Homo-oligomer: A and B are copies of this chain.
Amino acid sequence: MENYSVCQLQKGMRYEGFLLVRSAEKRKDSKGADYVDMNLADRTGEINCKVWNWDPEAEAPAVGGPLKVRGTIQEYNGRLQLRVEKWRECTPEDPVNMNDLVACAPRDPQEMLAELRKTAEGFQSENLKRLTLGMLEAAGNNLAWFPAAQRMHHAERSGLLHHTTDMLRLAEGLLTVYPWLNRDLLLAGVIIHDLAKIDELKSDPAGNVADYTRDGQLLGHLVRGITNLNKVAEETGVTGECVILLEHMLLSHHGESEFGSPKPPMFPEAEALHWIDIMDARMNTMKSVTDKTPPGAFSERIFSLDRRVYHPLYGEEDS
């Protein structure tokens, strides 16, 4: 049996492969028997599936994880449907490539996590080291796969780490040009600036964001980041100016009140953090738009940029 992507499936095909659970619900059929109605997806599309005669004691599969499934493609009311004959949850041994199933950051999450921790452990300031490591600790395991956004930039599995590690590298470039900046403070700000997105967004482990949380709606990640920092400071016993400097960097990193920061950046490291953040978001958006636009053509109007984007030929025409 060949490997098909979801977008290649046709009526009557046999299918076996790995798919991601987008939604799953236990229901009863007309005779009162249990079945499960699921939407499974890979990166190319989504298909509705039925698993008949479900064990009444068993839960429906968890949303966000990959399954191994086998079955037949049928058509119902004009739409394709996978009738599942066999399925199981994946094991570490399964040759699943998450990047086939969902947009993923280009680097390994554990490697990126390790980079953040190593950077913090190298700080000369004992206080900033304790605060930053404490914040990473508090963020917990979800940090490994959390996306940076619902749409827009870095809306991908482990997008939060992708965004943060790219910003670390931008910050290193900046420190070369402006060596008078306080290195520990800038890097600490980069590492913690978006961690409270984990409190702000409802995401499944595949990086799909369903909505904002109550915290996200009523407070947002800037302010929740500050209360999280206060807890870590209390637990680690850190006091002094460095706490309020980081509080301010969290609060001001969106730069202006119309983008959610009630205070603009008021010292050099806060200013630098803001520009590194916006630059990485914008370059990521630009790349994903030009990737989808043929050379020599313009994209449609991109909502988050409020403009159309041109994909240059870069001298191909000159030769």
- Inter-chain contacts of A231 with B (CB < 8 A): 230
Q: Are A310 and B262 in contact (CB under 8 A)?
A: no
Interface size, A (range): 35 or more
User: Which of A55-63, A81-89, A277-285 contacts the other chain?
Assistant: A277-285
- Inter-chain contacts of A215 with B (CB < 8 A): 244
- Inter-chain contacts of A268 with B (CB < 8 A): 283, 286-287, 290
User: Which of A6-14, A33-41, A96-104, A221-229 contacts the other chain?
Assistant: A221-229
A29 to B240, CA, bound (A): 39
Q: Are A267 and B219 in contact (CB under 8 A)?
A: no
Q: Contact check: which of B185, B240, B261, B307 meets A262 at CB < 8 Å?
A: B261
Per assembly, the copies of the chain total 6
Known: A173-B174, A240-B318, A242-B318. A220 touches B263 (CB 8 A): yes
Q: Are B223 and A312 in contact (CB under 8 A)?
A: no
Closest chain B residue to A283, Cβ basis: B178
Q: Are B180 and A170 in contact (CB under 8 A)?
A: no
User: Residue A19 at the B interface, CB < 8 A?
Assistant: no
User: Which of A65-73, A153-161, A245-253 contacts the other chain?
Assistant: A245-253
User: Residue A64 at the B interface, CB < 8 A?
Assistant: no
